Structure formats: C-alpha cells, structure tokens
Amino acid sequence: MTKWTAADIADQQGRTFVVTGANSGLGEVAARALAKAGAHVVLACRDTTKGDAVARTIGDNAEVRRLDLADLASVRDFAAGIGSVDVLVNNAGVMAVPRRKTVDGFEMQIGTNHLGHFALTGLLLAKITDRIVTMSSTAHKMGSIDLDDLNWENRKYNRWSAYGQSKLANLLFTYELQRRLAAAGSSVKAVAAHPGYASTNLQAHTESVQDKLMAVGNRIFAQSAEMGALPMLYAAAVPDVAGGSYLGPDGLFEQRGHPKVVGSNEKSRDEKTAGALWSLSENLTGVEYTFA
C-alpha cells in the first residue's frame, strides 16, 4: 500500500461509480481519477450547474444527476433514477455550519452527512454490486452520539460538536452496515475513509471568522485535494480492500500522506450505539434496509 497514487487505479472500464458532492473538492478529484481510469461516473450534485461544468471537462465518462442530501424527497428521486451501480461513494458533506435545518427538519450536519447518505445507501443497496465507501474524518474523535437529541433540539448548538457527531455517525454506520452485509452473506462491502487535512472549499462555509483562519491553514498546513482524495480512491477502487476497513493518510497524525488502513476510536466501535443509531436513522428517514 506504500506510496499508492491515483495512477495505480486499475482499469475501471465497464464499472459505474456514484460520487456524491462531485462538483468540487475531493469528490471532483475522485470523479476525475475514476473517469480517467475508464469508469462511468455519476456526479451526484446539489448544484448541477457546477456539476455540468466539471462533467464537460471530464468528457463522455461523466454524467450529472441532481441530489440534495438535505432533502429526502430529492434523495428518493435520485435513487429511483439510478440503475446498477458498482460503487457508491458517500463523499458530500458540510462542516461547522451555523445552526440550520434540512428540508425534513434535521440538524443540517447530521442530516446531510449521515441521514442523507443513510437514506441514499438504503435506497440504492439492491442496485450496488461491489461496495459502499463513506467519508468520515479524524473529527469523529471529538464526536458523541446523543440518541435522545440527535438533531440538537434540546441542547445548546455547538457547530464543531455537531460536526464530530456526524463524522462519528459515518463510522458507526459503516461498521454496522458491514456487519449486516456479512450476516446476510452478501459480497458487497462497506468501507470508510478520511482525507486527513486537505485543502478544499469544505472549510469555507462556517460563515464566521473561522473561514479566514482555516483559509490560512489550508495554505500553510494542508495537503492538496488530490492527495486528500487518495484514501477515498483506494477504498473505492482497490479490489482487495477488506469490508469494514478505514483508510486514511499514512503521515504524522494521519493529516497528510498516502493511503493506509487506520484505526478509529472506541466510540466508533460501540455495537450497541451503532444498532440504536441504525434504528433511529431508519425511523427518521423512513428508509428500511432489506438485505438479500
């Protein structure tokens, strides 16, 4: 796995990838790399104008479909229009945004980063032939799952704690999904990844002075989006990745470098919390998983 790069992606001819949030940042980088390797890539974007601009530069291997993860009706419409998929990459997300709600009344970060992708994966599961890759973050370490107040209705809202909760939820979801797939005898795998500290526009939407501070950090400390996308690409395209793996950079504190299997904290491995979060997510989204 040492020094693996996007140039090492095997031929992906005949394979279809859905990448959420592929109109910019890590998703755009991943879509370009997968299409270059021959894959057909569906750019699942809320902003289809930006998505179309990216797709035009990629060429015939890219198509754009509208998907707003903060609107379950949009998620259902998107899923209904998709055929067979080899790999679903749950990449899109928001970080440290001010308190606001999704169309369905969820806190925006848990609603977009976890619940939207939970619903999308469940609705597409029967169409997925290979694997589901979900993006988490080292920020999962500062998260806690409050099953009684997942949407911050009774707590004082803290944007970073809400982000950490959503990224912890991504890992709990991935590990629980893998357990359920394996129990059902499915060959489909669930894998997670994180980009380390990568320079993207994710850090530009806090609508606070933190945007300026993080812009400085991006210039001085962050690795490129091309490097940050490598763990996701490895998780999505390398054949022998094990289900339940978590990929991240191999450098100091997993902030930069080439992809390797990394660990996650004890909270992310709590099977009781994972099962309870799964049930709550099904209830909130109205999407119940069926395992063949």
Which residues form the catalytic set?
163
d(CA 199, CA 22): 15
H-helix segments, 69-129: 72-80, 108-109, 117-124
C-beta separation of 67 from 123 below 8 A: no
The residues with which 101 forms a beta bridge, in sequence order, are: 107
**Alpha-carbon distances of 19 from 41, 154, 158, 209, rounded to whole Å:** 7, 34, 29, 30
C-alpha distance across the termini of the chain, in Å = 33
**Encoded tokens for 52:** 């179309």
The residues with which 192 forms a beta bridge, in sequence order, are 134, 246
SS3 category, 26:
helix
Q: Which of 196, 260, 181 is nearest to 228 (CA)?
A: 196
Strand partners, 76: none
Q: Indicate the pairing of strand 246-249 with strand 259-261.
A: antiparallel
In sequence order, what are the residues at sequence separation of 6 or more whose Cβ sits closer than 8 angstroms to the Cβ of residue 18? 41, 42, 44, 82, 85, 87, 88, 89, 124
Residue type, 73: A
- Rounded to 5 degrees, φ, ψ at 108 are -60, -40
